[in-house]
Structure 1
Amino acid sequence: MSELKLLIYALAVEATAMLVLLSEHKSLIAFTLYLSSHGLASVLLALGAWRLMPLRFRRPPLWSWLLIFGFAFFIPAIGLLTILGGLLVGILLPAVFRDQPFGLVDKPYFAPVSVTTGSSFRQVDLKSLLSGKNVPNALRVQGMLVLKDMPPRITGRLLRATLGDEFEDLRLLAYGILDQKEKEITRQIDRLLQMLERARESRRYRLSRRLAELYWELNYQDLVRGDIRDLTLERAAFYGDMALMESPDDAGMWLLRGRIQLAQEDYGQAHQSLTFARRLGLSSAQVNPWLAEIALERRQLPLVRRLMQEINEESQFTTLNRAVQYWRDHEPAASA
């Protein structure tokens, strides 16, 4: 753009010089004014044209520039137009005959490829891999990339432990993974908060319910700690209560409310919320594990065993089945 401006300025100054030359004043002052204007136009033209020329034509720099200046200065008007025309032809003409580097091809045919079973990290303990002092850093970075696609609620503690690693690339990668997961949820929260401000009454329930779930996800995925975690749980409880005011028969929201209160260590309120969710129709597999956790915190071990035994043996949750089997096979001691 700067070269184009120089050429426009050169044309304007040259036009001014020609008006002075063709005027009725034939004095020395008029000729000196023309000569100065014409010289300035030639300098501007030489600068703009020299910058637009291909690199191979700008060698050596001083002599190539003086050649353009001399052509413009010693051949008034015609030299300027000739240089501009040459530049235009030099820029546009090669583009007409230039071979296009791209072409149209047929759509590729998709051939299914069997996925290879097993992974180079499947048999490796990622925790030992990332914390190992004798493990090559390149292999540790590959292990960190495996964690990137895993749920943060599973990898959160390991990622946070890696934040103190001696290898800087590993620390930065762990921080980036955690930060990306948190920002994804935070962006959704910000968008829903804006929608809630101008939402109609009919939409407030769905928006507040979704906000409670997103705030809970920040805690559930272990993306917040300390005071930020406490504030996040408070916001989750606030929007959960707002949703229940609109739809008090939402069993799923009562379950979420109970889990939030359990995370806040408010065991009394959590027990009431979870019990209410059970009465509204949720299955024992959905509610009893959390009631059992409250009973375990209170050292009510027989109650824990009874609650776990009430869970259907055909539960879909593998890890839950293991816990149920444990409490069925082990007789608890008397409650404290």
Structure 2
Amino acid sequence: MSTDSSMTGRPGNKLKNFSGVRVLEVRLLFYALLAEAGAITTLLAWERGPAAFLAYLLIHGFAAALMATAMWLWFPRGFRSPRALSWMLTFSLALFVPVLGLVGIVGGVLVGYFLPAPRGPEPFETIPAPQFTPVPVATDRSFRQEDLKTLLLSSKSSTELRLQGMLTVRNMPARATSGVLRETLGDQVDDVRLLAYGILDQKEKALTRQIDRALNLIESATPARLYRLYRRLAELYWELHFQDLVQGDIRALALQRAFDFVERALNENDQDGGMWLLRGRIMMNHEQLEEAWRSFDKALAVGLAPSRVNPWLAELALWRRQYAKVRVLMAEIAEDTQFTNLSASVRYWSAP
């Protein structure tokens, strides 16, 4: 609530403000009183009739406008906001209450100048801003991915060390850390639980923003651009599922949306091996093994490297207990491939 110095100052300051009325306000008020006297004289002197009443209204309206302007300029600064509405209120009082309106306006201004503003207990109090103490990062200790889960889920480790581990997890791929983060959502330590929730929420919102941007571009996209947008949306919805960032019905919806956009992309370009590979992985999640196998075969047929497709074909063959087929498929993957995490599996299935 805004306050004015003339309303909250000392009595001497109020008298000074009151006595410092400019000449303009006095003149306007004097002219308003003359016009009002003329209006009353016109109403009493003429014979009763519409013409006399209309003349009275015109002169009285002019007097009310002068009076409202004079009194509005006389108001303390805090009484003049909003400007138009405060002036209209003053004009209405002068117009619709010819004599008592003037008395009320003048009396209100005098009360505002001379009486102190009411003081009551404030419902709020000022508190100091909280201080953030960052967790010290130990320079002589690093975390390996395999021992992070043990550290984060151990109630015996110190909170500071667990928070340091959480900050390390934040910079790691969500597909490798979402599981342990979800397990820490039920942790007894508030800081650990809230930090885990914040990390998961941040990663989910980052993907969601990218999805929203791509969806907004679809309506105005050219056919060539439309294919790329379908492909991008299929990958983004798949990442929501693959990185374990959504659960329940939202997870199922993300997987379905990924499949829908894969189908749209393949309708635009059925030679996209990456989309056939993604389609096969989605079919594996739906446990449609035959359809997944056909999709992987199609990915190989359009030119996708065996090193990218064979691991998934081998997994399908393993589910079917076709161990000889697994050995053949894994043997086709060179040990110097970019899939270094498969090197151990390749060596295992290549052993005599």
Q: Would the aligned equivalents of 2:283 and 2:289 in 1 still touch at CA under 8 Å?
A: yes
Give the CA deviation at 1:227: 2.4
The aligned residue for residue 96 of structure 1 is none
Alignment-derived partner of residue 180 in structure 2: 158
Q: Give the Cα separation in 2 of the matches to 1:194 and 1:311.
A: 40
Q: TM-score, normalised by structure 2?
A: 0.63
Q: In 1, are the aligned partners of 2:276 and 2:296 still within 8 Å (CA)?
A: yes
In the alignment, which residue of structure 2 is the partner of 1:301? 323
Q: SS of the counterpart of 2:186?
A: coil
Highest CA radius of gyration, 1 or 2? 2
Amino acid at match of 1:317: F
Change (3 A) 1:19 1:271: same
1:270-306: CA deviations, max 9, x gaps? 1001011111112221100000111111121111111
Alpha-carbon distance change, 21 to 223 in structure 1, aligned in 2, over 3 angstroms: closer
User: Does 2:76 correspond to 1:44?
Assistant: yes
8 Å contact kept, 2:314–2:326? yes
What residue is the counterpart of 2:90 in the other structure? none
Q: Does 2:129 align with 1:129?
A: no
Letter in 2 for 1:177: I
Residue type at the aligned position of 1:188: Q
Distance 1:286 1:6 in 2: 80
Change (3 A) 1:326 1:117: farther
Equivalent residue of 1:163, what SS?
helix
1:264 aligns with 2:296: no
User: Quick check: 1:267–1:294 contact (8 Å CA) kept in 2?
Assistant: yes
Whole-angstrom distance in 2 between the partners of 1:158 and 1:313: 30
Number of equivalences: 252
- Per the alignment, do residues 248 and 135 of structure 1 end up closer, same or farther by CA in structure 2, a change over 3 Å counting? same
Instruction: Return the TM-score normalized by structure 1.
Output: 0.66
Asked whether the equivalents of residues 6 and 47 of structure 1 are also in contact (C-alpha less than 8 Å), the reply is: no
- Which residue does 2:198 correspond to in 1? 176
**1:280 matches 2:302:** yes
Distance in 2 between residues matched to 1:309 and 1:198, nearest whole Å? 47
SS at match of 2:277: helix
1:138 deviates by 1.7
The residue aligned with 1:19 is 27
Matched, 1:245 2:267: yes
* Equivalent residue, structure 1, for 2:244: 222
Measure the CA separation in 1 of the matches of 2:324 and 2:220: 51
1:235 partnered with 2:257: yes
1:60 corresponds to: none
Structure-1 separation of matches of 2:318 and 2:32: 109
C-alpha distance in 2 between matches for 1:229 and 1:45: 59
Closer/same/farther in 2, CA of residues 206 and 133 from structure 1, 3 Å limit: same
Moved over 4 A (4+): 1-7, 10-17, 20-26, 45-48, 116-119
Q: Which runs of 5+ in 2 are unaligned?
A: 8-16, 35-69, 81-112, 114-137
Kindly provide the amino acid, as one letter, of the partner of residue 18 in structure 1.
Answer: V
Task: Give distance in 2, aligned partners of 1:134 and 1:316.
Answer: 39
Tell me, in whole angstroms, the C-alpha distance in 2 between the residues paired with 1:305 and 1:167.
47
Q: Tell me the CA shift for residue 226 of structure 1.
A: 2.6
Contact conserved, 2:235 with 2:258, CA < 8 A, in 1?
Answer: yes
How many percent of aligned residue pairs carry the same amino acid? 50
| Structure 1: tracts of 5 or more residues without a match | 27-36, 49-72, 74-115, 332-336
| Compared CA separation, residues 290 and 15, structure 1 to 2 (3 A) | farther
SS at match of 1:150: coil
Q: Measure, in 2, the Cα distance between the counterparts of 1:247 and 1:156.
A: 33
CA shift digits 1:181-229 (9 cap, x unpaired): 1111111111111211232323211110111011111112111223222
AA aligned opposite 1:222: D
For each residue in 1:134-160, what CA deviation from the matched residue of structure 2 results, as whole angstroms up to 9, or x when unmatched? 211122111111111110100010000
1:5-52 CA distance string (max 9 Å, x none): 989xx89974554326877989xxxxxxxxxx99x95x937999xxxx
Distance change (3 Å), C-alpha of 1:205 and 1:15: farther
One-letter amino acid matched to 1:44 = P
The letter for the 2-side match of 1:173 is L
Check the 8 A contact 2:178/2:244 in 1, yes or no.
yes
